[in-house]
Every structure is written in C-alpha cells, then in structure tokens.
Homo-oligomer: A and B are copies of this chain.
Amino acid sequence: MNPRTDPAEDVLLQHPWRPVTIDGCQLLVKSWFGETAYRILLTDMQCVWEERMDAVAIESRAQGLNRRLRASVRAFFSHLCEVAQPCLTGGGRTGDEAQISVRRWEDGNITLRLKSELAGLPFYWEFHCSPAPVALVCVQLVRPLLAMSRLLQRQVEHLEDLLVRKDEEIQDYRENGATLSRERLQTDIFDKQPYAEDFIEKTLPLLWSEPSDALGFNADLQQLHATIVAYRSARKRKWPEETGAEQNQLSPEPSAQTLTPDGDDPTRDEGNQNSSKQVEPSRARRPAAHTKQPAPITTCPVERPTSKPKKKKVGLFK
C-alpha cells in the first residue's frame, strides 16, 4: 500500500490524534469526512484500526442498517457527519441524540455502533474498522513519534548547554566575591551525566504509576506531533524535490511499490533458482498481511545476471 497515492492520506496525516473515550474505551482517533466519503483511524496503543468508505459503500451500508429510512446518501451522510464527528473528535456526545458503543471481534476488527434519530426515525451507523496496514502505522505514528523523540532529545541537549552557560556566569559572579541575599536561591552546579541518570531513574517509575491522559499522548505531545507533521507536509509542498534527500533520513518514501521486484543475487547458483517457489512453513502458518492481490512469488521475474546488484537495489529502501 502506498498511502501517498490516496489524497485523503495527507489530509488525515495532518489531522491531530484526538483522545476520545467511547463507550468506556480510551482511544486516539483521526477522522476525515469528505462530501460523501470518510476515513477514520483509531488506536488504543495496542492496535491501530482504520476504515475508508466512499459514497457507494456508505449507501449500501446505510440501506442495510436503516431499512425504514428513506433518505438520499447525501442527506444520510450529512446527518452522519453531524452525529459522528463530535463523538470522534472528543467534542463530546451530542447529548441523548447519539449513542455510540464499541464492539471488538475475534478476528481483530472493531465496530463502532452509532444510534441517533433522523426525521423522527432511528438512525443507525456502524464503523467497521480493520487493523491498519503497517505502512500506514509507520506514516501516522512511528515516524512522527520518532521525529518527536529526536526533536525533544535535541531540546534536552540544548537546554543542558544553556544550563552549563548559566553556571559559568554564576561562577564568574562568585569568583568576583558576589554573594546571595537569599540562601535558598543558590542552585547546584549542573552536571549533565549524573543529572540525566538521576532524572531517568526518578521519572521512569512515574511514567507508569501516574495517571496519564490520552493514553500517554498528552496535549503537549499532540501539539508537537501536529507541528512536526504540518512542517514536514508544508516543506514537501514547497520543495518536492527534497523528497530524495529526506528519503535517506527520517522517513523514506514508500517508493518500492512502484517497482517490480528485483533481486538478482549473483551469488546464487542455478541449483537454487527455484528455491523461492518452495512452500515456506512460517508463512503458511501466518498469512502475509496487508497484501492486495499479492503477486505470487512464482510470477516474479526470473533472475537476471548482473555484475552490480547492489546499485540496482539502493532505490528500494532509500
């Protein structure tokens, strides 16, 4: 899956993760509602689920769930937005009008069920969410979280440098005979290494023992996430040619999907060329996931002789 091929993808990327409690379940939710289409992405930090629906799919489900209701897909969708969006953005429920519940299925999917009223009749909707593709989880969570850690780590380093400079200033005053009028204002000399060790030792237990809001993704971190994602998206729009440079760094482009599989390992001999066709026990036990019409391994191009196989493959991951 290449998330970048979906125009809704970037829209969703720039949406914040909103902490929402639905039916007693703490979740982080991203949602996007278009004209007669939507996408939602949910996580409880144990799993990430998504659903993408277009007008046809919405109409079909709407009819199945609301047999007595006669409304155009537009009218239906408009009401759905009205009642679902407050639930999915943490904006609170719309009072008694909308009720929402969560059901988790054995196959790993979850369903959010919504009940409201439309034109005096019961109005039902269900969001059927499946585990999201790993690539999407990388785009929406892993890479932004890593960028956040990198940024915060740099900030820690920068603040530590500032503290060292403050100490140099204080030291100079003292050496010139200055004294404090209030003893309690005196600070200890900042020593980076012992400080960091002590800080981590004292803070780690608190991370798990203190109550945390939003599954630990608190408001400051949400803000930082939004800032980082917005910056990166803006930068890509402004300098799309930079993409190549970025690919070597934080978040390489998923360019591989546009490539046919290569391989061409010159170290392989004739006797092993058919090895990729063998039944692979571990794969048989756990089916490969997130594969849309996967190309059977046997349909991959036969290996071509080449003297520089490595150069050919650099583009796959960079």
Contacts and interface: CB of A to CB of B under 8 A. Distances in A.
A72 interface: no
A313 B111 contact: no
Given A107-B295, A254-B46, A211 B249 contact: yes
Given A61-B280, A134-B134, A151-B200, A250 B107 contact: no
Nearest to A279: B60
A142 B155 CA distance: 21
Contact residues on A (Cβ < 8 Å of other chain), bracket: 35 or more
A317 B204 contact: no
Interface string A133-170: 11101100111011111111111101110110111111
A142 B141 contact: yes
Contacts of A227: 200, 204
A68 to B, nearest CB: 7
A263 interface: yes
Interface string A102-124: 11111111010101000000101
Contacts of A221: 146, 149-150, 153
Given A45-B142, A215-B250, A128 B282 contact: yes
Contact of A53 (B51, B205, B268, B282): B282
Contacts of A5: none
A128 B166 CA distance: 54
Nearest to A314: B24
Given A45-B251, A99-B267, A104-B316, A180 B172 contact: yes
Interface stretch (A7-15, A83-91, A181-189): A181-189
A241 interface: no
A26 B318 contact: yes
A204 to B, nearest CB: 5
Contact of A122 (B174, B269, B292): B269
Given A115-B267, A176-B178, A288 B130 contact: yes
Contacts of A228: 204, 207
A272 interface: yes
A143 B141 CA distance: 10
Contacts of A47: 134-135, 138, 254
A101 B142 contact: no
Contact of A216 (B150, B173, B212, B289): B150
B203 A154 contact: yes
A103 to B, nearest CB: 4
A252 B180 contact: no
6 contacts: A57-B280, A145-B149, A166-B167, A172-B180, A172-B185, A208-B242
Closest 5 CB pairs of A and B: A107-B294, A178-B178, A106-B295, A57-B281, A152-B152
